[in-house]
Amino acid sequence: MNYKNPDENGYYGEFGGAFIPEMLYPNVEELQKSYIDIIESEEFRQEYQELLKNYVGRATPLYFSGNLSRKYHTKIYLKREDLNHTGAHKINNALGQVLLAKRLGKSRIIAETGAGQHGVATATACALLGLECIVYMGEVDIQRQAPNVGRMKMLGAEVIPATSGSKTLKDAVNEALRDWINNPVTTHYVIGSVVGPHPFPDLVARFQSIISQEIKEQLLEQAGRENPDYVIACVGGGSNAAGTFYHFVNEEDVKIIAAEAGGFGVDSGKSAATTFLGTLGVLHGSKSLVMQTPDGQVIEPHSISAGLDYPGIGPFHANLFREKRAEFFSITDEEALQSAFELTRLEGIIPALESAHALAVLDKKEFKEDDIVVICLSGRGDKDMETYLKKLDEGSGKTED
Ligand SMILES: Cc1ncc(COP(=O)(O)O)c(C=O)c1O
C-alpha cells in the first residue's frame, strides 16, 4: 500500500475526500487541479527553498540527545523543528501556502490557530510577502497562549476570537471555513494541519515532508544509515507527524509511533485521543476518525496543549491507524508535563507542550540499546511558560531515574 499520498479523489484508504459546501467548489477545485503543478514547478521550488534556507533557518539540526539516550538505554535523536524561525514546524507549511496563494492571485489570507504557532507562522509569511492576514483563534486558546497572540498582532494580523463550543481549535476552524465561504474569490485559507478537504492534507504533508527528507540525509551522515528504527511525533491534526513520517511510511524497516493527547485519560470524558475514542465521520471537509456521539454530535475535546486539543485527526493518520502501519499512544496532560521537565533538566531544551507528548512515549515503550529512535521536537516552549511555571510552583519535575 502507498501510505504517502492520497488517490486522485483525495482518499487514503477509506479516509479523506472533499465534503464541502457548494460555495467553496471553485476554490477547492482550482486548488485540486493546480497544487502539484505549482509547487513542483522549478520557479516555485527555488523561491520556497531559498526562503526555507535563509529565512527559516533550515536545515534544522538532528541532535543526538546523549543524556536522554543514557537514561532510556537507546539512541535518541531529536529533530529540532523548535529552532525554525517562529519556533515550530508550522512555518514550513505557512510559507509554502502563502507563496501558493500569491500565485493563485489571492490578496487576503485567513488561518485558524490553536497553540498560536500556525497563526504566528502565517502572520509572519503574510508580513514578508505583503498580504492581509486574519487569524481565528478560540477564546480559551487566546488566554492560554497569550504570548503568541501578541506576536500575531505585532506582525499586523487581525486576531478574531472564536466563541462557540469549547472555544478552542475546532471552533476556530469552523469560523475560518465560514469566512472562506463568504469570501471565496479574494481569499485563500491557509489550513494549519493535514486536515480539511482534499487537497489540503496532501498539500500540507508535502510542505512538511522536508522534515523526514532532512532526517534521512542527516542520519546517513551521523549514523551511517538513512533509516532509523523508530520515528515518533505528536499528532494534533497531524502535520508535524506527517512530515516526520512521510519519507518513511513506505519503508517497512521503519516503525512509526504517534502520540495523541490523552488529556485526563481516555476514560475520563476529558480527552483528545481521537484514535482511541473516534469513529468514522466527517469533520471540517474530510472523512476521518472523529470524536462524536452515536448521532454524530462532535464531542468537545480536552488537552492541556492547545495544539493537540482537537476532536479529529488527518486522514493520512487515520489510515495509518486503521492499517496498523503506526502504533498510537495516548499521553495524559500530566505525563506530557513531566516529560517537558525531564527534557529541560537533562538537555537544556524547553519543548512545546505538544512536543512533550511525543517525548512521553519514551516511558511507554521499550527500545533496544542499538535502536535509533528519532523524535520530532515540533516546537519550543516559550508559549507554555505560564503553564510550566504554575506546575513548578506546585512542586514538580521528573529529574531522577
Ligand atoms: C509546537 C506544535 N507541535 C504540534 C502541534 C500540533 O499540530 P500538528 O499535529 O498539525 O503538527 C502544534 C499545533 O499548534 C504545535 O504548535
Same domain assignment for residues 190 and 240: no
Same domain assignment for residues 70 and 216: yes
The answer to whether 230 and 374 are in contact (CB under 8 A) is yes
Q: Which residue, of 204, 232, 257, is where some domain finishes?
A: 204
Same domain assignment for residues 311 and 231: yes
Same domain assignment for residues 110 and 218: no
Q: Which residue, of 167, 189, 204, is where some domain finishes?
A: 204
Is 260 in the active site?
no
Q: Is 46 a member of any domain?
A: yes
Same domain assignment for residues 318 and 331: yes
Q: Is the peptide bond before 201 cis (omega within 30 degrees of 0)?
A: no
Same domain assignment for residues 34 and 72: no
| pLDDT the model gives residue 37 | 98
| pLDDT the model gives residue 401 | 47
| pLDDT the model gives residue 229 | 99
Q: What is the CATH number of the domain that holds 304?
A: 3.40.50.1100
Report whether residue 234 contacts ligand 1, using a CB cutoff of 6 Å.
yes
Q: Is 372 a member of any domain?
A: yes
Cα–Cα distance, 101 to 108 (Å, whole number): 9
Q: Is 361 a member of any domain?
A: yes
Domain tally for the chain? Answer: 2
Query: Mean pLDDT in each 10-residue stretch from start to end of the chain (401 residues)?
Result: 95 98 94 98 98 98 98 98 98 98 97 97 98 98 95 98 95 97 96 98 98 98 98 98 98 98 97 98 98 96 96 98 98 98 98 98 98 98 96 73 47
Cα–Cα distance, 151 to 380 (Å, whole number): 15
Half-sphere exposure at residue 172, Cβ-oriented, CA atoms within 13 angstroms: 33
Q: Which of 168, 234, 343 to mutate to test the pocket of ligand 1 (most atoms within 8 A of CB)?
A: 234
Closest ligand 1 atom to Cα of 380: 1
Structural domain containing residue 219:
59-87+209-393
Write down the catalytic residue from 4, 79, 81, 112: 112
Closest ligand 1 atom to Cα of 194: 10
Same domain assignment for residues 47 and 185: yes
Cα–Cα distance, 328 to 293 (Å, whole number): 22
Same domain assignment for residues 188 and 227: no
Q: DSSP string covering 22-88, please? A: GGGHHHHHHHHHHHHHHHTSHHHHHHHHHHIIIII-PSPPEEE-HHHHHHHTSEEEEEEGGGSTTSB
Distance 224 CA to ligand 1 centre (A): 30
Residue 159 grid cell: 486576531
Q: Which residue, of 181, 204, 227, is where some domain finishes?
A: 204
Same domain assignment for residues 316 and 374: yes
Cα–Cα distance, 383 to 355 (Å, whole number): 12
Same domain assignment for residues 133 and 226: no
**Beta-strand runs (E) in 274-369:** 279-283, 286-290, 326-332
Q: Is 7 a member of any domain?
A: no
Q: Is 398 a member of any domain?
A: no
Same domain assignment for residues 325 and 356: yes
Cα–Cα distance, 321 to 336 (Å, whole number): 22
| pLDDT the model gives residue 360 | 99
Same domain assignment for residues 274 and 384: yes
